[in-house]
Structure 1
Amino acid sequence: MRILLLTHSFNSLTQRLFGLLRQRGHTVSVELDIADSVTEEAVAVFKPDVVLAPFLKRRIPESVWARTVCLVVHPGIPGDRGPSALDWMLMRSDTQWGVTVLQASAELDAGAVWAWQPFAVRPGCTKSSVYRREVTQAAVVAVLRALQGFSPDTMAAENIKQIGLQPLSDKWMPLLKQELRRIDWQMDDTAMVLRKIAAADGFPGVLDALWGQPCRLFDAHPASAAALQPFAASTPGEPLARRGPALLRRTVDGAVWIGHVRLDDGLPAQADGAQGLKLAATRVFAAQAAALPESSVPLMRAGAAQPAESDEWDELGYREFGPAGACVGWLSFDFHNGAMSTRQCERLRDALQWVRSRATQVLVLAGGAEFFSNGIHLHDIEAAQRVPGDSAADASLRNITAMDDVALEVLTLTDRITVAALHGNAGAGGVFLALTADQVWAHEGVVLNPHYKNMGNLYGSEYWTYSLPRRIGEAPARALMQGRLPLLATDAVAAGVVDACFAADASSFGQQALVRALALASDPGLAQRLQAKQARRAQDEALKPLAQYRAEELLRMNRNFYGFDPSYHVARHHFVYRKPHAWTPRHLAVHRELQPKEHP
């Protein structure tokens, strides 16, 4: 079929559907929801059999849905209606939820149901997390089921009988306003504070204040009793300590770590539009945070059996599994939204240097639960423009240099096998950080964006000119970098970018990856494998040193940062401030290429 994806942005769900539908032989094009007239033109040009809307913030115009079947993906069960479906679900602490595919009609979220898929809600998950994992997986199932029974000749579908979950109500649920999200630090317990911030994760955040400054709170984590113990005499709402990006804040029955905040830049308290940059709380309130004690924890600490979990929150954590002589080191780096600032890169570099002292046979780079890595921290770089004597160009160079230092640590770790285990998506430099490992593993839900050009034609670094051609060859590497399209994990395996894809989702991937890593560590042929790895690294170094790859990449990056073409700086500014799109990029809107060329 010819399927037009109409979407507010080319987000993770849209990318997953884009790849899966193309895998199944459909002709797929994308139009960003910019204006009704643009949508009408796209439908007229492409003549789709169906318009699929995975992520919209406006209603589809009647001029389109009255003439073409339009299927809307709603992150709620049948009967749920409104723009804050996941927010309300998390605020209510629902344990079961779902995704509905319904036909666009005159009334929002009230059209005929074509398919829906239930899912269990993970305890303690955030809105962004449940969207990227459960909602995306359920949407894939529901969309494919809806399209299986689709006939382009019909304009309506018979409602699918609801089985299992029943609608909570048939009434419209309004936008969840800040007055209902607001935290009462004198009354709300830790669970309630975490729930409110989780329900606003990603957008819009919870409007609050720190040191009298209005700001929005994001990225909250429960604090352990040990972290709170030195501050037994503190009062609810009081900032107590700092750790990495986060501030420790007292609640009535415990404490929470607040990792990121966004200043409201003078907007009135009732405004629901988030402004400013989302940054580490300890950066936004640097002077105040510096006066607080640092509550540090060791990289290797006691915790739960699952490698991705810990009783004591921190961005980095390390564990070891297996007996001596067949031991696996497991290094997690759970950076918010996968962005890696200069500080975070330096900390990860130091962790990798410490890991060298451990007697392990395999080192697993586990990244984070939501993202492996998305490369340099664009919000942090944009904020440098506000610092006297600094600039976004200088901050960009510092950040990419620090990313290169991390990549170099992995590339030169030749006395053990390294594995990048992708629990979540990866983009730009995060993909190429993964490719510095000997093995790259992912699950079926992972989407990769192995290119930099969408960010203002960035050239990229992280030794990609060495690691990518080494895996797939020079010509395929050039084509991949120019393509600008997302790559499903299964397609990445076929292309040679990823070595193995197993498990349906992140929930089962971690344990399966650990089993495989333990098998690799106890492999009788491991010694020979390491000898071959060391020999190849020495041969590659003699042919062309890693320092030369790095210098050549950074020379091109310097042009991006300091050259006459401002494309990178413009693209970064638009990205971090969520500027509305003016047009759909041509590599996505293939229907635009179908229009007849005008000749003078």
Structure 2
Amino acid sequence: MRILLVASAFNSLTQRVQAELRDRGHRTAFVLAAGGPEVRDAALRDAVRDHRPELLLAPMLTTAVPDDVWQAVPTLVVHPGPVGDRGPSSLDWALQEGARRWGVTVLRATAEMDGGDVWATAGCDLPAAGKSDLYRGEVADAALDAVLLAVTRFASGTYRPLPQPADAVVTRPYLRQERRRIDWAADGTAAVLRKLRAADSRPGVLDRLLGEDWYLHGGHPEGALTGPPGELLATRAGAVCRATADGAVWIPELRAPRGRGGRTAGVKLPAAVALAGRTAGLPELPAAPDGPEHEWKDICYREEGRAGFLEFSFPGGAMSTAHCARLLAAYRQACARPTSVLVLGGGRDFFGNGIHLNVIEAAADPAAESWANLTAMDDLVEAVLTTTDRLVVAALGGNAAAGGVMLALAADEVWCRTGAVLNPHYRLMGLYGSEFWTYSLPRRVGAAAARRLTERAQPVSAAAALRTGLVDQVVAAAPQDFRGVVARQAVRLASGGGTQGRIARKKAARERDEAVRPLAAYREAELAVMHRIFHDPAAPYHALRAAFVRKQPRPPLPDAAAPGMAQPDVAAGGGRRNSGV
């Protein structure tokens, strides 16, 4: 079918729905519902006229579809709540109130918001995690099941949707900041975490900290530290620890309100970066990667038999200069252990999205910080590429993009959860790319496919990634179960009889590749282009970055053939097996 997707943002769920529909042979197009009502509605009407869809599908829409559109074209809306739930803050309310089970409903657009007939529904668990993590995980899994069922039912032409039962309808208002407010003197850790997790990505929890207003983003429990409620107690890996009525929580990120003014207003940043020198008197309490599992840390290491597991979880998947340096140090420590298989990743949510655009935007010299961040990413990826004494597995429990994808492709095997979406390209940020992509990407998929992936800049589903060679294995597991499945498979791989032979062949293949063209040559060529982009004030990257971090309309994209965007002479290869591993 011809399906037009309309969404308020091309977010993770919209990307996944588009990729999965394309996998099933549907012809899809996308229109962004952004700007004022007149601009937004005109863009949608133009898209309907141009694409002549048989079905309009809204995976994530915060505004109403114009009456003349949904009356002319059948329109299905995805609502992140069970049948009968209505309102704009469905998932927020569920998490703040401690719901353990939730659902997703696909319904027909009508004049009444969320009031149309039900075409499909699916349920999901809500484990203890942040809203954005759950939205990309359990909720997205349920949404995709419901969408595919609804599309199949619509295509059949025989299904009759069901009206919502009037006695089951609950309409919740927008969850405003006064209902999200934390009472530090009275709220215990569990209550504080519910409020933080219900607002972790957007909108955050508005609060007063060190005499100024801040939006708090994300939260993790602290098991030992205590202090006067509301006081800051320590820092760790860019996060700040704040005392609750009965304990403490770690808050990873802060955002200054837009009205404050200044370069960083409205930009979400690591909490210690946002507070700048105001945390100088607080103790920095680093957590060793191999420390107790109950201790919060964003990088952790453990072993099972001959398999090592280096997990990391950075907010939004962004990897700053500091993140890369700490992860590289942990990687080198892991490589000093007597293991034959090292798993990189393997947790929930994002694997990685490349350089930290928010930290770069807030830097005094964004060009210099871009360069520092990128070279730190390159150092990390190079360490993985040059590991020849063991097998390295990248385990993607969630999405990956740009440099995050290339970090994964540096490994010998890539295992990917069914719900993950990959964006193996840089063009949408006006960048040429680095992280040895001109070596790793064609080595796996071939030169022609590498060009298509980077120039078309389309999201790739896990199934499509398997077909093209981007990944070696798709793991059918719920987000909560992915870690355990990966561990069992890695232990089997490490104890397998053929592992040492594979390691020897891997080492020989790396030596052959190095003799043909050294890794340093790939790095030098990529960085030469990126350096020019970073230090050119007129390069589209700077405007695109600023718009991205501030959630503003995106400027026009550079043409793929524009200076600095043309694709290089990528190394020819026969796909993922030409490495000899």
Query: What is the TM-score when the length of structure 2 is the normalising length?
Result: 0.92
Alignment of 1:277 with 2:258, yes or no, is no
Match of 1:28 in 2: 28
> Which range moves more in the overlay, 567-576 or 283-292?
283-292
Alignment of 1:56 with 2:44, yes or no, is no
CA distance in 1, matches of 2:358, 2:167: 39
Q: 1:582: Cα distance to partner?
A: 7.1
Match of 1:246 in 2: 239
Contact (CA 8 Å) 1:117, 1:138: kept in 2 or not?
A: yes
* 1:539-578 paired onto structure 2 within 5 Å: 539-563=512-536, 565-578=538-551
For residue 278 of structure 2, the aligned residue among 268, 283, 288 is 288
Deviating above 4 A after TM superposition, structure 1's stretches of 4 or more consecutive aligned residues are: 151-154, 581-587
Q: 1:9: Cα distance to partner?
A: 1.3
Contact (CA 8 Å) 2:19, 2:460: kept in 1 or not?
A: yes
CA distance in 2, matches of 1:301, 1:39: 52
Identity %: 48
Match of 2:4 in 1: 4
CA deviation map 1:485-516 (0-9, x unaligned): 01111111110111111224323322221111
Contact (CA 8 Å) 1:370, 1:424: kept in 2 or not?
A: yes
Secondary structure of residue in 1 paired with 2:246: coil
CA distance in 2, matches of 1:524, 1:584: 50
CA distance in 1, matches of 2:29, 2:337: 50
Question: Which stretches in structure 1 are left out of the alignment for 5+ residues?
Answer: 269-273, 304-310, 588-600
Q: 1:567: Cα distance to partner?
A: 0.5
For residue 469 of structure 1, the aligned residue among 439, 442, 447 is 442
Contact (CA 8 Å) 1:81, 1:109: kept in 2 or not?
A: yes
Question: Which stretches in structure 2 are left out of the alignment for 5+ residues?
Answer: 35-39, 561-581
Amino acid paired to 2:161:
E
Amino acid paired to 1:252:
A
Alignment of 1:144 with 2:143, yes or no, is no
Q: 1:478: Cα distance to partner?
A: 1.4
Match of 1:127 in 2: 131
> Which range moves more in the overlay, 84-93 or 471-480?
471-480
Secondary structure of residue in 2 paired with 1:176: coil
Q: Say what the alpha-carbon RMSD is for the aligned residues.
A: 2.1
Q: 1:57: Cα distance to partner?
A: 1.3
Secondary structure of residue in 2 paired with 1:179: helix
CA deviation map 1:224-262 (0-9, x unaligned): 12xx1xx5xx21000011111111111111100011000
Secondary structure of residue in 2 paired with 1:515: helix
Amino acid paired to 2:248:
A
Q: 1:266: Cα distance to partner?
A: 3.7
Secondary structure of residue in 2 paired with 1:553: helix
CA distance in 2, matches of 1:436, 1:289: 37
CA distance in 1, matches of 2:111, 2:15: 27
Match of 1:271 in 2: none
Amino acid paired to 1:375:
G
Inter-CA distance 151–548: structure 2 relative to 1 (3 Å threshold): closer
Secondary structure of residue in 2 paired with 1:36: helix
Contact (CA 8 Å) 1:334, 1:367: kept in 2 or not?
A: no
Contact (CA 8 Å) 1:113, 1:157: kept in 2 or not?
A: no
CA distance in 2, matches of 1:55, 1:11: 8
Amino acid paired to 1:212:
G
Contact (CA 8 Å) 1:32, 1:583: kept in 2 or not?
A: no
CA distance in 2, matches of 1:561, 1:248: 35
Match of 1:159 in 2: 162
Inter-CA distance 411–450: structure 2 relative to 1 (3 Å threshold): same
Alignment of 1:209 with 2:208, yes or no, is yes
Match of 2:573 in 1: none
CA deviation map 1:89-116 (0-9, x unaligned): 1111112211011111111111111111
Secondary structure of residue in 2 paired with 1:419: strand
Amino acid paired to 2:205:
V
Secondary structure of residue in 1 paired with 2:191: helix
CA distance in 2, matches of 1:460, 1:20: 26
* 1:211-226 paired onto structure 2 within 5 Å: 211-225=210-224
CA distance in 2, matches of 1:537, 1:584: 37
CA distance in 2, matches of 1:168, 1:531: 67
Alignment of 1:410 with 2:384, yes or no, is yes
Inter-CA distance 430–485: structure 2 relative to 1 (3 Å threshold): same
Secondary structure of residue in 1 paired with 2:145: helix
Q: 1:439: Cα distance to partner?
A: 0.6
Contact (CA 8 Å) 1:114, 1:160: kept in 2 or not?
A: no
Inter-CA distance 253–213: structure 2 relative to 1 (3 Å threshold): same
Contact (CA 8 Å) 1:49, 1:152: kept in 2 or not?
A: no
CA deviation map 1:279-298 (0-9, x unaligned): 01111113122211111222
Amino acid paired to 2:254:
V
Secondary structure of residue in 1 paired with 2:392: strand
Query: What is the TM-score when the length of structure 1 is the normalising length?
Result: 0.89
Contact (CA 8 Å) 2:102, 2:124: kept in 1 or not?
A: yes
Match of 1:315 in 2: 298
CA distance in 1, matches of 2:167, 2:348: 30
